[in-house]
Structure 1
Amino acid sequence: MKLHAIEAGNFKLDGGAMFGVVPKTLWNKTNPADANNLIDIAARCLLIEDGDRLILIDTGMGNKQSEKFFGYYNLWGDFSLNRSLKEKGFAPEDITDVFLTHLHFDHSGGAVSWNKDRTGYEPTFKNARYWSNKNHWEWATKPNAREKASFLSENILPIQEAGQLHFIEHPSTDFKTESELGFGIYFVDGHTEKQMIPHIEYKGQTIVFCADLLATAGHLPLPYVMGYDTRPLLTLGEKEKFLNQAADHNYLLFLEHDAHNPVITVQHTEKGVRLKEILALEDVLK
């Protein structure tokens, strides 16, 4: 098995929204805001090369939305999904599986692209099986008012229409459920219904793709919950359970949204689970 970080693009989000009820004087220490109160955010995906399978976890925002839409998110840097894949020696048609932790636009936007003449949409990865789960798919295709702006039909429905949609089973309340893709999944419901957190066994260690369960290293304290979460009190318990496991077993936490701290480890302290070490991608994925 080989793992590759795929940088799908950087953007900015309001720091207050990203930290909910936590005062700026606290979160600004770890995630400094600019003059507009915006903080740096990454869309860092993970590519798993395992035998004849090439599994892409999440896809970033993609590039099919309008200039007005992207203007809300202050794109910065020169990363893109296709460029990052090409730099690793792969093309979209090589991908065999696309695993979507959840269907918010900054995780699923790159999964679907304009067709050739820009009259409609088609899956970006024409040879891939796309993986969600039934509960989350229902949640995303019949969105509540709070999340409606995050679940864009053009990112979601073309997958099903192309016949490429597959569902991961959610069998129990076990901490980690083994999936058809060869890695474990922790199902969590605080951010959105049945978000899936992959746990990948790699060279004797567990790498966890944290998605929006732990957006950045600055979100380690339990009360530091995003304003975007639909069930923040549930997030508290899910984070506590997960972070205790991570500290107990020295998990490597792959942070999808932290633009400056790609991988971290954590440890138990008197204040709870806190940062232990920041690691470089090249050292973890070598």
Structure 2
Amino acid sequence: MNLYTIDTGFFKLDGGAMFGVVPKSIWSRTNPPDEKNLCTWATRLLLIEDGDRLTLVDTSLGDKQDAKFFGHYDLHGDDTLDSSLAKHGFHRDDITDVILTHLHFDHCGGAIKREGEKLVPAFKNAQFWSNEKHWNWATVDPNPREKASFLVENIKPIQESGQLRFLQENAAYGDKIDMRYAYGHTEAMMLPQIQYKDKTLLYMADLLPSVGHIPIAYVMSYDVRPLVTMQERKDYWQEIVDNEYICYLEHDPIYECCTLQLTEKGIRVNETFKLSEI
């Protein structure tokens, strides 16, 4: 098995929304905002090469929305999905599987692209993996809090393509990949847990957006069940420390990976490093 970091650039979100009840005077120490109170976040994906299977975890925002939509998020940076794939010798048509941790636009927007007037899968040879609980949560009757993040143009074409597959909640994705779940940020968000080089790597998605979010109470305002998130973080953090897992960070603007340690202030960051350094 080989793992590759796939950088797709940066975007911005309101710092207060990203840190919830935490005062700006505290969170700005690790994530300084601009003059509009916006903080920079990465859109960092993971590519898993395992035998004849080439799996991409999440797809970033994509490029099919209009300038008004993207104007809210200040997309920037030189890296793109295609350039990052090419750096490792791959093309999007080589992707056999796409795991969508959840269906918020910054995680699944790149799954679909425009071809003229049509919306089609951006990975024509891939199966797209979600789970029935989350899919129904996002599509049947989206709650008002998340509805703006569940964009029909990102989601419906996946199902219409015939390339959508559902993972059963207790089923592994492969011999070396288990699927873990979290329910505080959104219903049944998937967290791939990967056995790699005698280590365990956990793809954190939005359970841990950045190193600055490690303290248990540093929960995003986007989370639909913040108290559930806090309990999940407490449980996961202890498991990560006890078993020396590596956390893969999708949104941290600087750090790709980190480990955690127990300190007198609680569980905090231990080491930060690049995926390639494992």
Instruction: Using structure 1 for the length normalisation, give the TM-score.
Output: 0.95
- The CA deviation string for residues 227-277 of structure 1, in whole angstroms up to 9 with x for no partner, is 000000000000011010111111111100001111111001122110101
Provide the C-alpha distance between the structure 2 equivalents of 1:170 and 1:31, rounded to a whole number of angstroms. 34
Give the match for residue 108 of structure 1.
Answer: 108
Runs of 4+ in 1 over 3 A off after TM superposition: none
Letter in 2 for 1:249: N
**1:34-183 matches, cutoff 5 A:** 34-115=34-115, 118-142=116-140, 143-171=142-170, 178-180=172-174, 182-183=176-177
| 2:231 aligned residue (237, 242, 245) | 237
Provide the C-alpha distance between the structure 2 equivalents of 1:147 and 1:21, rounded to a whole number of angstroms. 19
- The CA deviation string for residues 6-60 of structure 1, in whole angstroms up to 9 with x for no partner, is 0122111110000001000111111111111111100100000000000000000
The worse-fitting range, judged by mean Cα deviation, of 139-148 and 189-198 is 139-148
How much does 1:204 deviate? Answer: 0.5
Aligned partners of 1:168 and 1:180 also within 8 Å: no
Instruction: Please tell me the root mean square deviation across aligned C-alpha atoms, in Å.
Output: 1.1
Aligned partners of 1:7 and 1:44 also within 8 Å: yes
Look up the SS of the partner of 2:208 in the other structure: coil
Provide the C-alpha distance between the structure 1 equivalents of 2:109 and 2:60, rounded to a whole number of angstroms. 6
Give the match for residue 174 of structure 1.
Answer: none
How much does 1:75 deviate? Answer: 1.1
The worse-fitting range, judged by mean Cα deviation, of 34-43 and 105-114 is 34-43
Q: Is residue 2:196 matched to residue 1:202?
A: yes
Letter in 2 for 1:97: D
How much does 1:179 deviate? Answer: 2.7
Letter in 1 for 2:262: H
Aligned partners of 2:4 and 2:276 also within 8 Å: no
Look up the SS of the partner of 1:36 in the other structure: coil
**Which runs of 5 or more residues in structure 1 are unaligned?**
172-176
Provide the C-alpha distance between the structure 2 equivalents of 1:61 and 1:52, rounded to a whole number of angstroms. 27
Instruction: Using structure 2 for the length normalisation, give the TM-score.
Output: 0.97
Provide the C-alpha distance between the structure 1 equivalents of 2:193 and 2:172, rounded to a whole number of angstroms. 9
Aligned partners of 1:108 and 1:155 also within 8 Å: yes
Letter in 1 for 2:218: Y
The number of aligned residues is 277
Letter in 2 for 1:107: H
Look up the SS of the partner of 1:149 in the other structure: helix
Aligned partners of 1:9 and 1:43 also within 8 Å: yes
Q: Is residue 2:219 matched to residue 1:220?
A: no
Q: 1:148 to 1:130 in 2, by over 3 A?
A: same
Aligned partners of 1:132 and 1:168 also within 8 Å: yes
Aligned partners of 2:176 and 2:195 also within 8 Å: no
Give the match for residue 181 of structure 2.
Answer: 187
Provide the C-alpha distance between the structure 2 equivalents of 1:207 and 1:5, rounded to a whole number of angstroms. 13
- The CA deviation string for residues 83-133 of structure 1, in whole angstroms up to 9 with x for no partner, is 211221111111000000000000001111012xx2020001111110000
Provide the C-alpha distance between the structure 2 equivalents of 1:31 and 1:204, rounded to a whole number of angstroms. 33
- The CA deviation string for residues 208-229 of structure 1, in whole angstroms up to 9 with x for no partner, is 1100000000000000000000
Identity of aligned residues (%): 53
Letter in 1 for 2:250: E
Provide the C-alpha distance between the structure 1 equivalents of 2:13 and 2:216, rounded to a whole number of angstroms. 20
